Each structure stands twice: as structure tokens, then as C-alpha cells.
Structure 1
Amino acid sequence: MERHARLRLLLGEEGLGRLKDATVMVIGLGGVGSACAEALARSGVGTLILLDRDVVEESNINRQALAFTSTLGQVKTEVMARMVHEINPACVTHARRVFLTPDNVADTLDALPRPDYVLDCIDTVSQKLAIAHWCASHAVPLLSSMGAANRLDPAQLQFSNLRKTAVCPLTKVIRLECKKRRIKGVEVLYSTEPPQKPGAPGARTKGESLGSMSYMPPIMGQMIAGKVIRRLSGLEPMPRPPRLYRSREEALAAQ
């Protein structure tokens, strides 16, 4: 197809074919997830699973690929599915408006087509941990975005194994909780930049304390999409999925 002509120069027919056969799940369609889903659609990924619970709000317009004056109040998954169809009508989309919780993650994800890759683009700790556990239990590759809020410099973004991260407060919490749940091998994109501290003293809500530049979340989403596109097309090796390890007591009991 002419729309993929420039991709073909770099990926070849085989690489494009691999992307066409791939299924990618994007969880969260905020600043990171919407940019990620858009890039995946433009790359020719054949099937996209899009999950989010929210509607488009005016405060989203500064950073989210699906947020326009014309889409205010509309369900994000529906807006994103329409965008994907406009970009690549051949892409199959499974769009679900759903609020994931630790109690329903397994049932929700099990009911959908099995993905070749899961991209966690949400910012809630309990949900991120449940998604990581599901991927580890099902041997599905996972790439998880960490905090983009209150950062200014995209040059300080980097991919890493979760256990090797530093500076980012969100990675610290996720790292400790994964250890408690015996989840290892989680790959993340995070920032080594110390977060700014905007807002008035005592600010508690996201709107009062979490600033977001127009470029930081979309760059994170594009970086995640780029990594996954290179891997699914065969330009880079696929990673090992996250996994669950047994406690010392369980290992001894199994002997």
C-alpha cells in the first residue's frame, strides 16, 4: 500500500508483514497511550486493543493525541478507534471503555484476543501491578511507562529493567511492590530527571500538583511505540516477558 511505502524502505515486506500479523494492547489513552496508539496505527500494526475508562476533557488538550475541541466529552476509546480507522482502515480494533482494578484485570484481559505485546500507559500503581502480574502469568511481553509529569527534558528518558531504575519516585514504588509480589523482568521507560515541584504547598489533587508539558507524554508514547515496532518487525530481538519467581520456602518445598 502507498501509505506504507516509506515504512517498506526500512522494514521490507517481511517486516511489514510481521507488523500486520501483530496484536498490540495499549492500556491507557492519555498523553502517553494516545500517541503510542497513533504511531502503532501508522506503522501498520494489524490489530490494536485499546483500553481506557475516561472521556476527553479540556485539560487533556495540551498533550493527548485524541484531545481536540471537537472531541470534548467523548469516550477516549471511541475517539481513538475512529482515529485508527482514519489512519489505517485495515487495522482491526478492539476498543473497550473499562476501569481496570486488581480484581477485574484478569477477567477483562482474558476475554480479549491474546496480544503479542502489552503496553502499560497508565499511572495508577495498583493497576500497573495487576497488569504486570497478568503478563507474567501469561508470558506476554510488557513495556510499562513510568512518570512523565513534572519533567521537562525528554533527553533524560531511557529504557531499563525496573530493578535498575533510580530517581523516579513511581519506579521506586513499583519496584518495591513487584518485589513483594515476586514479579521480575519488568521493562520500563522512565526519566532520570528529578521531578519539578509545582503547585502551592499542600496541593493534593493531580490538577494542583502534576504539571505536564505538551511534548513529554507524546515523546514517551512515540518512544514506546518505536521500541515495539522495531521488535515486532524483526529489527530487534523480542524481550523475555516478565515472570513470577518462587519464594525460598516455595522453592525448598518443591524439591
Structure 2
Amino acid sequence: MKTESGIFDRTEKLIGQSGLEILKNSRVILFGVGGVGSFVAEALIRSGVGFLTIVDKDVIDPSNQNRQIMANVKTVGKKKVDVMARRLIAINPLSIVHPMHRCYTPETSQEFHLQDYDYVIDAVDMVTAKIDLVIKSQENKVPIISCMGTGNKMDASRFIITDIYETSVCPLAKVMRKELRERGVKSLKVLYSTEEPVIRETPPGSIAFVPSVAGLLIAGEVVRDLLKTGSIDEN
């Protein structure tokens, strides 16, 4: 992918022109643009993903400023997806960013057309939404990665990407394992932390360097998966 600014020149050194073309032609949908999701979104656009839908129903709150990349005193009170979309387009004006100020639920799932995407990223908090996203993605044969809990943690080096049934420690992962097993889901790629929660508070405590690292790790996994499975149309 060439632009006047040459923003992908150094990326091309790693993945080649063919890799840039794969990412340029990839369509990704991201649910949740918070402490994790905002870093996922930015890393995908900076890596060259050409089409990204971002979904979140919230507006920016002052409490978001400690960890969400688009949150500052000037953006408080604005829709997260709108602020994030403007930020992403300013990074790469040739990318297509589609903001959806919506809440994903089993009842609204048909609004999102998961079958039209190459990858689904779950960075939401609501368990019912996470479970339904997994089921709908797998029904549509679209790869999905789901983020487990990053709150109440302090050690960003403890994140790993594995199957949901290989997780431990994480309270959210425990709930997800149970619910998915009951629904016959055999496997799910997740990011989770092996760190015991430092505190057990609801809403959880958070710090800048933990959810951001989770988001970057997820983005990296998605980019690598897209490059492995992508193909170039020689015609």
C-alpha cells in the first residue's frame, strides 16, 4: 500500500508488498473501543488494514482518560467511535473506517453482518454479547479473537494468547468457559492474563500500561492471522 507520505515503507520491509496488499484488502470488525479496543484499532490502521468497522455505544468519560487512547479533556462527552474514527483517518486517510454507535446484543446481531468480514475482534465487557459474538462468528465461519479481563491487573507481561479451555485464574474466562461449554463451543482463541487479580473490585481498577498491551497483542495476532490466510488476486 503506497501513500504520498510513505507511512508503510517500514512495514513493507517486514511483510513485503504482497503483505501490504493483503492487509489493505482485509475487512475487520472490532467490538468495544475502550482501554483494549482503542489500541487494537490504532494498531490495525497503522499496520495497513484497509477497512475497519468499530462498534461501541458509549461516550468518552473522564475516567477513560487513564487508559483509552482517544480520551482527553477535549473529547470527554463525545461518542467514542466518532472520535476514534477521526483519529484513525488522520493516520491513514486511505483507510475506510466505519463507526457504529451501537450496542451488540443477541437481539441486534443482524445489524452487523459478520459474514462480510475477514476477522471479528471482541473487546466488550458484557458476557451475553461476548458469547453471542463467538457463536455467530463461528456459524459464519469468520475467525474471532476474544479478550478476557484486563481490569484489576498490574503486570502486562502476563498476557498470553491461547484457547479458552486452556485458561485459568481469570474470572471472566471462567464464566466464558462454562457458558461456551454448555453451548457446545469446542474452541475459541482468547487473550487472557495469567496474573491473579491484584484487587477484586467492580467496576475494576485499571492502569494505562495493561489494557494497552492487551490491545497491541490482539492486533498483532489478527495481523499475523490475516497475512497467513490472505491471498493476492493476480488478476
Please state which band the TM-score falls in when normalised by the shorter chain.
Answer: over 0.9
Q: Which has the larger radius of gyration?
A: 1
Please point out which of 24, 31, 46 is paired with 1:27: 31
Please point out which of 119, 132, 135 is paired with 1:133: 135
Task: Provide the secondary structure at the position in 2 that maps to 1:70.
Answer: coil
What amino acid is the match of 2:224? R
| Identity over aligned pairs, percent | 40
Q: How far 1:113 moved relative to its partner?
A: 7.1
**TM-score, normalised relative to structure 1:** 0.86
1:66 corresponds to: 70
2:218 corresponds to: 224
2:233 corresponds to: none
Please point out which of 114, 117, 122 is paired with 1:115: 117
Q: How far 1:232 moved relative to its partner?
A: 1.3
Q: How far 1:136 moved relative to its partner?
A: 1.1
Please point out which of 56, 59, 68 is paired with 2:60: 56
| In 1, Cα distance between equivalents of 2:200 and 2:30 | 29
Deviations 1:113-132 (A, max 9, x none): 71100010011111100100
| In 1, Cα distance between equivalents of 2:55 and 2:100 | 5
Q: How far 1:233 moved relative to its partner?
A: 2.2
1:80 corresponds to: 84
Task: Provide the secondary structure at the position in 2 that maps to 1:95.
Answer: strand
Task: Provide the secondary structure at the position in 1 that maps to 2:208.
Answer: coil
| In 1, Cα distance between equivalents of 2:120 and 2:225 | 13
| In 1, Cα distance between equivalents of 2:142 and 2:115 | 12
Q: Which runs of 5+ in 2 are unaligned?
A: 231-235
2:192 corresponds to: 190
Q: Which runs of 5+ in 1 are unaligned?
A: 200-204, 239-255
| In 2, Cα distance between equivalents of 1:187 and 1:198 | 25
Task: Provide the secondary structure at the position in 1 that maps to 2:196.
Answer: coil
Deviations 1:48-103 (A, max 9, x none): 01100000000000000110111110001101110110011111122110012222
| In 2, Cα distance between equivalents of 1:198 and 1:27 | 25
2:93 corresponds to: 89
Task: Provide the secondary structure at the position in 2 that maps to 1:66.
Answer: coil
User: In 1, are the aligned partners of 2:115 and 2:137 still within 8 Å (CA)?
Assistant: no
| In 2, Cα distance between equivalents of 1:184 and 1:69 | 44
1:213 corresponds to: 207
Runs of 4 or more above 6 Å deviation: none
Q: How far 1:155 moved relative to its partner?
A: 1.3
Deviations 1:192-214 (A, max 9, x none): 11102256xxxxx41xxx10011
Q: How far 1:184 moved relative to its partner?
A: 2.1
1:245 corresponds to: none
Q: Cα RMSD between the aligned structures?
A: 1.4
| In 2, Cα distance between equivalents of 1:152 and 1:140 | 32
User: In 1, are the aligned partners of 2:153 and 2:196 still within 8 Å (CA)?
Assistant: yes
What amino acid is the match of 1:160? T
| In 2, Cα distance between equivalents of 1:49 and 1:177 | 27
Q: How far 1:230 moved relative to its partner?
A: 1.6
**TM-score, normalised relative to structure 2:** 0.93
| In 2, Cα distance between equivalents of 1:216 and 1:87 | 24
